[in-house]
C-alpha cells in the first residue's frame, strides 16, 4: 500500500512542522475545500457519521483512471473541513486503484495526534473508508468491504 505523490506531499508538509503549526496548516486546508458543483446537493451525497460534524461526500468513479471526490463540511467545523480538504487535494483525480491502495491509517503520518482528538482522527478514517467503499461499488474493484475506518 502506498499514497499518491499529491497526498505524500501533504503528509511531508505536516511532518515538517511543530504541533501548533500543524493546526495552522490544517486550518489553511479548511479554507481551501472547494464548493460543491451547482448540480450536487448534500441530499444526494453520502453522510459520514464517523465525523462529529455533518460531513457529506460523493464519489464519481465512472472514469476509474480519474476518480472525482466532492465534500460538504460546515465552515464552523474547521478540523473536519480540513480533513476533507486534505483528502480532496490528495486524492481527487487519482485512479481508483491508487485510492484503494492508500493505507487506512495514513492520517497518523500527519502527526496530528497531539493536536486533534482521536475521535476527530477517526472521522478522517471514516471519510477515507467511505471513499474506498464507493470506489469499490462503482468500479467492482476488490472486496465489497463495509464503509468505515477499516474500509
**Tell me, what CATH number does 41's domain have?**
3.90.1010.10
Mean pLDDT estimate for the chain: 90
Over residues 59-83, mean pLDDT = 95
* Assigned domain for 43 exists: yes
Query: What is the CB neighbour count within 10 angstroms for residue 116?
Result: 22
Query: Does any domain span residue 85?
Result: yes
Domain count for the chain = 1
Confirm whether 33 is domain-assigned: yes
Owning domain of residue 71? 5-139
What's the average model confidence in pLDDT over 54-82?
95
pTM: 0.90
Tens-place pLDDT, residues 109-120 = 898 888 887 778
150 in any annotated domain: no
Specify if 133 maps to a domain: yes
Q: Is residue 64 one of the residues assigned to a domain? A: yes
In a domain, 59, yes or no: yes
Amino acid at each position: 500500500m502506498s499514497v499518491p505523490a499529491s497526498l505524500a506531499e501533504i503528509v511531508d508538509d505536516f511532518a515538517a512542522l511543530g504541533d501548533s503549526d500543524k493546526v495552522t496548516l490544517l486550518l489553511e486546508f479548511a479554507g481551501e475545500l472547494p464548493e460543491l458543483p451547482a448540480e450536487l446537493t448534500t441530499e444526494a451525497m453520502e453522510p459520514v457519521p464517523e465525523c462529529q460534524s455533518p460531513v457529506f461526500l460523493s464519489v464519481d468513479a465512472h472514469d476509474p483512471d480519474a476518480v472525482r471526490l466532492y465534500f460538504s463540511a460546515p465552515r464552523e467545523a474547521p478540523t473536519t473541513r480540513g480533513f476533507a480538504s486534505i483528502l480532496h487535494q490528495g486524492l481527487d483525480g487519482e485512479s481508483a486503484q491508487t485510492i484503494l491502495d492508500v493505507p487506512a491509517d495514513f492520517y497518523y503520518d500527519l502527526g496530528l495526534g497531539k493536536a486533534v482528538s482521536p475521535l476527530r482522527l477517526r472521522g478522517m478514517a471514516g471519510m477515507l473508508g467511505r471513499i474506498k467503499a464507493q470506489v469499490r461499488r462503482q468500479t467492482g474493484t476488490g472486496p465489497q468491504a463495509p464503509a468505515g475506518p477499516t474500509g
